Amino acid sequence: MRIHKEGYIIILISFIVLGIVSPLSGLIPMPVWLHYTILIALLLVFLWIVKFFRSPKRTIFIDETKVLCPADGKIVAIEEVYENEFLNEKAIQVSVFMSPNNVHVNWAPVSGRISYMKYHPGKYLVAWHPKSSTENERTTVVIESESGKNILLRQIAGAMARRIVCYAHEGNLIRQGDEFGFIKFGSRVDIFLPLDAKIQVKLNEKVKGKLSVIAVI
């Protein structure tokens, strides 16, 4: 299992804390069972942090007629909306909710040029809240695909997520399946598609980033 670079510092700090707290707990008078319970709890938290920052290796065959899922998680919204930040037109919004147990790497659903990228500070509503798409801390990225269609992605921080990392920069080229970001500790990714896109997923369906097909365009 590979560890994502965003987790290196956090995992190192967690390991140091585990190494310090474990022997110190032995110096405090307490029942033996309580001492071992604390050690086991600390170890489980450390292992969960390591698991959170896992970065699976997934091989794909690039197909520009397909829009790949940008993240692991569950489909929590499929609806027609008016996108007013960049597209300024109606689009189909598909939202993927990532629980703290999901892989939190974000991948490009199509190949193309980054035509827009903007970070928005905001609230920390729970990620499945309808207003989180426009009121939470978020980053918006638009990929102009090779067919000329604009695919808008929105990384949204949730109640637990307090840090959005985005590697996209305006003017850069990106390939389908490339990493474009990472969101730490529970979050959501919205993808806005043209109205003529043929959606291939259903509500509450569990999806895999870079593997599941969101739509055909």
Which residue is catalytic, options 14, 111, 133, 187?
Answer: 187
Local structure of 34: helix, strand or coil: helix
Sequence ranges of the domains in the chain: 5-52, 66-216
For the residues 64-88, what does the mean pLDDT come to?
95
Q: CATH for 66-216?
A: 2.70.70
pLDDT at 160 over 60: no
Q: For residue 8, what is the enclosing H or E element?
A: helix 8-25
Bridge partners of residue 78, in order along the sequence: 94
Q: Do residues 61 and 203 make contact, with C-beta atoms less than 8 angstroms apart? A: no
- 24-43 pLDDT tens trace: 766 677 787 777 788 888 88
Q: What is the pLDDT of residue 124?
A: 63
Question: How far is 90 from 125, CA to CA, in rounded Å?
Answer: 25
Q: Is 187 a catalytic residue?
A: yes
Residues in CB range of 27: below 8 A, 6 or more apart? none
Structure letter (DSSP) for residue 123: B
Q: What angle do CA 158, 15, 97 make, to 5 degrees?
A: 20
pLDDT of residue 140: 96
SS3 call for 41: helix
- Over residues 96-116, the pLDDT tens digits come to 998 888 888 999 999 999 999
